[in-house]
């Protein structure tokens, strides 16, 4: 698949996700959060890397609050020199708006070298764990140098039979939808 075809697929899948109703997004996000709590890897993680959802993404704010309230370490991604780093936050006041309306940790937040689990954003996923991200490669570059466990949250509608992938693409270990939990390490 060419880059242009991949970009077209990304646009098509983003348009489909963006057309979901707020009611659906809120209800499905709650079910996804409930399913996420069923994963032992997530429940036992002392440190979690995650992201602050925007647009039509599965809502992560309640999950982020749960992590903070449980006393576990929470870190969120920040782009520095075209690379992704994770910085520890203690509350949402540690965040500021960056490019693409993304909420990132402020510069003075401490950098975290690794987390027990990383929640990775995706536009769409295959059941094998390949993800279609936003096309910048930040997460694939970050995860390729780490051996961290990963989880992606997505709506069932964004779970595809197959997705184009390359040798640079890093598979996620678990996929959580409103309907099921998929372990991709089979």
Tokens of 182: 């998929």
Closest C-alpha to 104, from 119, 94, 91, 118: 94
Q: pLDDT at position 136, please?
A: 78
The C-alpha R_g of the chain, in whole angstroms, comes to 15
Q: What tens digit of pLDDT does each residue of 96-126 get? A: 998 778 899 999 999 999 999 999 999 999 9
The per-residue pLDDT for 1 is: 62
The pTM is what? 0.93
Q: pLDDT, tens digit, for every residue of 20-75?
A: 999 999 999 999 999 999 999 999 999 999 999 999 999 999 999 999 999 999 99
Report strand pairing: 117-120 vs 149-153.
parallel
- Complete domains list, the chain, with CATH: 3-183 (3.40.50.10420)
- In our burial notation (b when 16+ CB lie closer than 10 A, e otherwise), range 58-91 reads bbbeebbeebbeeeebbbbbbeeeeebbbbbbee
Which residues make Cβ contacts (< 8 Å) with residue 53, sequence separation at least 6? 59, 60, 61, 121
> What's the pLDDT at 186?
55
Write out pLDDT tens, residues 113-172: 999 999 999 999 999 999 988 877 888 888 888 788 999 999 999 999 888 887 778 899
């Amino acid at each position: 698949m060419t880059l242009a075809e991949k970009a077209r697929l990304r646009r098509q899948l983003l348009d489909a996700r963006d057309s979901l109703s707020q009611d659906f997004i809120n209800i499905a996000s709650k079910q996804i959060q409930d399913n996420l709590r069923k994963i032992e890897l997530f429940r036992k993680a002392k440190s979690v890397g995650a992201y602050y959802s925007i647009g039509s993404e599965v809502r992560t704010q309640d999950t982020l609050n749960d992590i903070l309230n449980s006393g576990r370490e929470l870190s969120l991604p920040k782009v520095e020199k075209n690379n992704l780093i994770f910085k520890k936050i203690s509350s949402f006041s540690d965040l500021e708006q960056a490019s693409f309306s993304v909420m990132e940790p402020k510069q003075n937040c401490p950098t975290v070298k690794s987390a027990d689990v990383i929640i990775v954003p995706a536009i769409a996923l295959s059941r094998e764990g390949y993800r279609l991200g936003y096309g910048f490669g930040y997460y694939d570059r970050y995860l390729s140098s780490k051996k961290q466990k990963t989880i992606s949250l997505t709506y069932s509608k964004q779970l595809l039979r197959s997705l184009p992938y390359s040798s640079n693409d890093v598979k996620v270990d678990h996929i959580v939808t409103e309907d099921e939990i998929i372990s991709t390490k089979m």
